[in-house]
């Protein structure tokens, strides 16, 4: 995820699962494609689980950049779980005002293991396939990997996450995620209840900046799934490159869910603050919103 507050997508049909027992993104990641379906109540002893979901989000952000080009999106996803540890999912995403309807699809695999009452680990792989006609508008196809270490401090749940696009030239991003899950007592005989999972996250990464001696051109290297761009004009006789590892963004949010035995309805308002204040790097910032519906088929 890139952050819990930024997970969201939407052509309404199936959903995915990823980083299961601990968080939700969001928007991070993040995002929808990465975790939320596991919030649906599932018996720990259940061997097979099939979950479906759909949702709508105001913006989809990964690794400090908008993967939906700052446009609203919708998603549908389907996830299969084995022993509530291994999850395989497919998610289809629609980006507003873009054709074809399914702008891109995500195929995910995640494994999580609870070590003891205060420690858990997880790892995930995903593949993003964009429609051929949108590769110049959105991004090129890419694979994404992450590993996570979660620690339950009782009053706070902290997750240390290392993630990145799987290619030789791309660096690793690091996330520090913090959340505090709690829920209301069940009410009515149908065992309905509300749950809350407020969070705040920090994203760190390396950005490459290139510029001419005369300072006529400045280029910031965006995450690989985002189309790069230049500012300025002129020839490039000599170019210098500077790499900087720093805090990229801070995000916070509060997912609020209405839960039943077979379905969950969730809204997630959030806010993302970018620490990159360079005119050549148009990192997303501001309020975000995600609506999700999950349904347990098996």
Q: Model confidence over 176-186: pLDDT tens digits?
A: 999 999 999 99
Name the band, by pLDDT with cuts 50, 70 and 90, for residue 17. Answer: very low
> What was the pLDDT predicted at 122?
96
Residue 253 structure tokens:
């949010």
Mean pLDDT of 43-57: 87
Name the band, by pLDDT with cuts 50, 70 and 90, for residue 229. Answer: very low
Mean pLDDT of 106-130: 95
Query: What domains sit in the chain, N to C, each tagged with a CATH number?
Result: 4-205+244-296 (2.40.160.40)
Q: In angstroms, rounded to a whole number, what is the distance separating the alpha carbons of residues 137 and 97?
A: 12
According to DSSP, the β-strands at 142-152 and 217-220 are: unpaired
Cα-Cα-Cα-Cα dihedral sign, residues 61, 62, 68, 72: negative
Name the band, by pLDDT with cuts 50, 70 and 90, for residue 244. Answer: confident
> What was the pLDDT predicted at 219?
47
Q: In angstroms, rounded to a whole number, what is the distance separating the alpha carbons of residues 67 and 240?
A: 28
- pTM attached to this predicted model: 0.79
Instruction: Answer yes or no: are the C-beta atoms of 258 and 192 closer than 8 Å.
Output: yes
Contacts of 222 (CB under 8 A, 6+ apart): 65, 228, 281
Q: For residue 174, which phi and psi values (nearest 5 degrees)?
A: -125, 140
Name the band, by pLDDT with cuts 50, 70 and 90, for residue 56. Answer: very high
- DSSP reduced 3-state for 230: coil
Name the band, by pLDDT with cuts 50, 70 and 90, for residue 62. Answer: confident
């Amino acid at each position: 995820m890139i952050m819990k507050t930024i997970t969201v997508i939407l052509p309404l049909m199936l959903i995915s699962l990823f980083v299961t027992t601990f968080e939700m993104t969001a928007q991070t990641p993040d995002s929808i494609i990465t975790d939320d379906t596991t919030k649906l109540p599932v018996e720990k002893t259940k061997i097979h689980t099939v979950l479906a979901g759909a949702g709508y989000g105001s913006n989809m952000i990964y690794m400090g950049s908008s993967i939906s080009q700052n446009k609203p999106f919708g998603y549908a996803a389907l996830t299969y779980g084995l022993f509530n540890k291994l999850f395989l999912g497919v998610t289809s995403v629609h980006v507003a005002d873009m054709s074809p309807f399914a702008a891109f699809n995500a195929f995910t695999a995640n494994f999580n293991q609870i070590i003891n009452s205060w420690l858990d680990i997880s790892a995930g792989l995903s593949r993003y396939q964009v429609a051929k006609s949108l590769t110049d508008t959105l991004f090129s196809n890419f694979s994404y990997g992450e590993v996570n270490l979660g620690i339950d401090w009782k009053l706070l749940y902290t997750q240390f996450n290392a993630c990145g696009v799987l290619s030789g030239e791309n660096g690793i991003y690091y996330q520090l995620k913090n959340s505090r899950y709690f829920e209301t007592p069940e009410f009515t005989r149908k065992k309905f209840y509300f749950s809350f999972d407020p969070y705040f996250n920090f994203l760190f990464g390396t950005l490459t900046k290139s510029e001419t001696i005369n300072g006529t051109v400045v280029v910031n290297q965006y995450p690989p799934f985002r189309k790069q761009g230049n500012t300025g004009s002129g020839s490039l006789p000599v170019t210098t490159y500077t790499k900087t590892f720093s805090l990229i963004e801070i995000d916070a949010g509060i997912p609020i869910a209405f839960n039943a035995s077979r379905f969950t309805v969730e809204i997630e308002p959030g806010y993302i603050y970018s620490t990159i204040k360079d005119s050549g790097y148009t990192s997303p910032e501001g309020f975000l919103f995600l609506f999700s519906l999950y349904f347990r088929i098996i």
